[in-house]
Structure 1
Amino acid sequence: MNKGKAALSDAELVAILIGSGSLNESAVSLSQRILGKAENNLNVLGKFTVPQLMEFKGIGEAKAISIVAAMELGRRRRAGEALEKHKVTSSTSVFELMQPVIGELPHEEFWIIYMDNSNKVLQKVQLSKGGITGTLVDVRLAFKNALQLGAVGLILVHNHPSGTLKPSHADKQLTQKLVKAGESLDIKVLDHVIVTEKSYFSFADEGIL
């Protein structure tokens, strides 16, 4: 209260979430131990599941859920800030918008960002969700959404949980299929961006759209 939230360490912030430690350990000490297992990196902590957190003595289900919920709120805030702050004018802005949403997932998801003629985001929609190896995309649904929103452009985005940035043959085929479908409806596919935890690959930047 006296010094403000910025004065607190990561461990002290986590300690506030969990409220108390155990008989032999303070909340701050317990939080430091948890962060130590997470390489003192909040992005790594954000990947911990409830069962993983409950492996720490002093962390029950309720405390574990509080930590997971706080990490999720942080991710959603980042995504919301990107949406408010940026017109989508580059592949970097696509990465900033979508990395908090899909960059750290253990499975593949395919999203479409629908835009107006000023490159403002009308909506971002998850089109499909798959396993570790891939996902299926309904081209008709992609353009049905575009027509309903009055979108004039769209950007395809999906993640590679493996961390590889190289597009697969299937990625290239799907991109061309959507580009051709968009041409007949006068809706331009502006880019296809592959997102990983730390980086991205842009079809438009590489000249292969």
Structure 2
Amino acid sequence: MTIAQLPIEMRPREKLLKHGASALTDTELLALFLRTGIKGKNVFVMAQELLERFKGFAGLIHASAAELKTFKGMGGDAKRSQLVAVLEMARRALTQQLTETTVMNSPNAVKQYLQLELAQLKHEVFAVLFLDAHNRLLSYQPMFRGSLSQTMVYPREVAKTALALGADGVVLAHNHPGGTVKPSQADMKLTRTLQEALALIDVTVRDHIIVAQGKYLSMAEEGLL
């Protein structure tokens, strides 16, 4: 069934105009963008399979044009480049929101941002959000790659970057590709080490957020800082 064959009230565009974009499912939203499917596969099936292949919009955010090209129906340069551009606009919009508002007053925006940046990665990445005195985002920087139990995170590098940016505080973040967001002993030890190191230059650790696909944990909210 094509979009045009649906009853008017069930068509994604009409639902969006009447109820807003939030009323659409992920599949409907992507189908609205794709507009048409391919031979033997309607646009809704194609959208659903695309979301499953890349594990949702968060995965699509990280998909390159070359990766999208491997998906049947996304081989055309126009559709593929448009999707990459739209997803990049979403990422930049969220970044802009964090630079213009107080990060600590927008915890959900921070978690959504980190979900987009980290949750779908197959390897562990340790990143830092550097904040100004008003808790606005100065810079997001992935700094170390690999399991925290195997790859050393150098506090001096975090401190050096904080000084260079004139940061007043930081939010630490990393992903757990295995799916659990429970902090390990290595996570706890690293957090304490960074707290102590950054305190020497009057930079405070505001939070340490662990993300996995579809979930997150804030150490500050759990009383672990």
Please give the TM-score of this superposition, normalised by the length of structure 1: 0.74
CA-based RMSD of the aligned residues comes to 3.5
User: Residue 13 in 1 paired to residue 33 in 2?
Assistant: yes
Question: Aligned partners of 1:184 and 1:153: how far apart in 2?
Answer: 12
Q: Which residue of 2 aligns with 1:60?
A: 75
User: Residue 47 in 1 paired to residue 72 in 2?
Assistant: no
SS in 1 for 2:158: helix
Question: Aligned partners of 1:81 and 1:5: how far apart in 2?
Answer: 27
Question: Aligned partners of 2:57 and 2:42: how far apart in 1?
Answer: 14
Letter in 2 for 1:137: V
CA contact (8 A) 1:111 1:127 kept: yes
- Per-residue displacement from partner, 1:161-182 (whole Å, max 9, x unpaired)? 2221111111111111111112
The alignment-based identity, stated in percent, is: 31
Question: Aligned partners of 1:46 and 1:34: how far apart in 2?
Answer: 17
Q: Which residue of 1 aligns with 2:45?
A: 33
Q: Which residue of 1 aligns with 2:96?
A: 80
User: Residue 166 in 1 paired to residue 182 in 2?
Assistant: yes
CA contact (8 A) 1:94 1:193 kept: no
- Per-residue displacement from partner, 1:101-154 (whole Å, max 9, x unpaired)? 212222221111222222222222221223698654221110011111222221
**Where in structure 2 are the equivalents of 1:140-151 lying within 5 Å?**
140-151=156-167
Question: Aligned partners of 2:147 and 2:167: how far apart in 1?
Answer: 29
Aligned in 2, Cα 1:93/1:113: closer, same or farther, shift over 3 Å?
same
Aligned in 2, Cα 1:91/1:170: closer, same or farther, shift over 3 Å?
farther
Hey, which of these two has a bigger chunk of helix by percent? 2
Deviation of 1:91 after TM superposition, in Å, equals: 4.5
Q: Which residue of 2 aligns with 1:205?
A: 221
CA contact (8 A) 1:191 1:204 kept: yes
Aligned residues: 198
Deviation of 1:186 after TM superposition, in Å, equals: 2.0
SS in 2 for 1:195: strand
Structure 1 runs of 4+ aligned residues shifted over 4 Å read 3-9, 38-43, 48-53, 63-66, 131-135
Structure 1: give runs of 5+ residues left out of the alignment.
none
Aligned in 2, Cα 1:46/1:113: closer, same or farther, shift over 3 Å?
closer
Aligned in 2, Cα 1:55/1:89: closer, same or farther, shift over 3 Å?
closer
SS in 1 for 2:189: helix
